[in-house]
């Protein structure tokens, strides 16, 4: 695994090998080398990486499953757990219940994602910035049959990864379904109303600030982007209010599934 040098360390005399293996895996999660939802290498590969027996790896994996850090994957294997499975349904229902809850979530995203963009400008590798640039290039392609929404989500996830914060990645995973709904809605009519080019410019501004290693510029670009989204939600809500001519539902459930 890139950036991992677990083989340079050995368990102390007072540690069981399986406990040491479990700690190495926890360290990888803490460093963001293993992210929520990611599938771990197989037992044999882990044993080779750590220079221990498969028996010790198996015992370590079982311990981490019991503690709630890992879960078994159907068909074999193990992945990193997040709280998304528990939270997504309830959070999605809550956000869909009122327009104000939707706006609250956008404002929370502004605070979190501007922080992440600032961190990414300071800490991202050139490879991570190049990845964000490739996603941006894909977003500019036309006639992608809904592909822009997926690229948009990938863009925000890539910025999160570039921030180098495992804590933020876990927080993001908790709201990934409702965030995906919001992103998908952004790329549907009537929300966009010929604003696709503007949305791409918003993302280009974020990428350019990251490439310049400009923390303030990156944070401001994210705030401007999500501020526009928030204003658009509020405009659509006003248009759909009783007594207006509009018939638009501004909740994520209206246009995104």
What was the pLDDT predicted at 114? Answer: 97
Q: Global pTM?
A: 0.69
- Using N-to-C axis directions, what is the helix angle for 147-162 and 176-186, rounded to 10°? 130
**Domain spans of the chain, in order of start:** 6-80, 84-255
Q: What is the pLDDT of residue 235?
A: 83
CATH number corresponding to 84-255 = 1.20.120.530
Give mean pLDDT in consecutive 10-residue pieces for the chain, a chain of 257 residues. Answer: 50 75 87 82 94 94 88 86 59 76 90 97 96 93 67 91 88 74 64 78 97 98 95 77 48 40
How far apart (Å, rounded) are the C-alpha atoms in residues 203 and 242?
A: 34
DSSP secondary structure of 124-168 = --HHHHHHHHHHHHHHT-S--TTHHHHHHHHHHHHHHHHTT-HHH
Length of the chain: 257
- How far is C-alpha 179 from the chain's CA centre? 9
> In this structure, which topology does domain 6-80 adopt according to CATH?
Arc Repressor Mutant, subunit A (1.10.10)
């Amino acid at each position: 695994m890139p950036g991992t040098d677990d083989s340079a360390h050995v368990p102390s005399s007072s540690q069981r090998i399986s406990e040491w293996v479990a700690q190495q895996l926890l360290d990888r999660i803490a460093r963001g080398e293993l992210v929520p939802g990611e599938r771990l290498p197989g037992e044999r590969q882990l044993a080779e990486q750590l220079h221990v027996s498969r028996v010790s790896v198996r015992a370590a994996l079982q311990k981490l499953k019991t503690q709630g850090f890992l879960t078994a994957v159907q068909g074999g294997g193990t992945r990193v757990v997040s709280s998304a499975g528990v939270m997504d349904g309830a959070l999605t229902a809550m956000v869909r219940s009122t327009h104000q809850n939707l706006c609250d979530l956008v404002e929370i995203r502004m605070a979190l994602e501007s922080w992440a963009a600032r961190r990414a400008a300071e800490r991202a590798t050139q490879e991570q910035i190049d990845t964000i640039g490739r996603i941006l290039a894909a977003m500019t392609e036309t006639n992608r049959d809904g592909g822009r929404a997926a690229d948009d989500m990938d863009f925000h996830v890539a910025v999160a990864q570039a921030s180098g914060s495992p804590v933020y990645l876990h927080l993001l995973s908790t709201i990934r379904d409702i965030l995906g709904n919001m992103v998908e809605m952004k790329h549907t009519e009537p929300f966009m109303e010929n604003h696709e080019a503007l949305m791409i410019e918003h993302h280009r501004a974020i990428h350019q600030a990251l490439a310049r290693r400009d923390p303030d510029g990156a944070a401001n670009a994210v705030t401007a982007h999500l501020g526009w989204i928030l204003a658009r939600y509020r405009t659509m809500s006003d248009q759909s209010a009783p007594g207006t001519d509009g018939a638009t539902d501004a909740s994520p459930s209206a246009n995104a599934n």
